[in-house]
Amino acid sequence: MRVRFYAILRAVVGQKTIEVDLPSGARAIDLARAIALRWPELAAFVIDDRGEISRQVHVMVDGRNVRWLPDGSATVLHADATIDVFPPTAGG
């Protein structure tokens, strides 16, 4: 599964796009946990104290924030999905 990172997350990962091997039926939370394991310095950004996807990141699946999808962090990811991970932004 191809995952793209943005802003400070990209700097930690060291590249814009990575490949993550997840089993069939993996969920968005499984991806977040895999990222936290691969880059421990990102663990606090991607996983909260409850073991859910943190509000410090946006995990987008095909352009939609998993937080607002019907299954939330339990959203099943398909191998050809476009996954983007980035910190919240603000501006004016």
Per-residue pLDDT at 89 = 77
The pLDDT of residue 9 is above 70: yes
Radius of gyration for the alpha carbons in the chain, expressed in angstroms and rounded? 12
The pLDDT of residue 85 is above 60: yes
Structural domains for the chain: 2-86 (3.10.20.30)
Going by C-alpha positions, the residue among 92, 13, 24, 51 that lies closest to residue 84 is: 13
Q: Encode burial over 30-45: b for 16+ CB neighbours within 10 A, e otherwise.
A: bbbbbbbeebeebeeb
Per-residue pLDDT at 88 = 83
Per-residue pLDDT at 71 = 96
The pLDDT of 8-23, averaged and rounded, is: 93
Q: What is the pTM of this model?
A: 0.91
Structure confidence by residue, pLDDT tens digits, 66-82: 999 999 999 999 989 99
Q: How far apart are CA 43 and CA 15, in angstroms?
A: 17
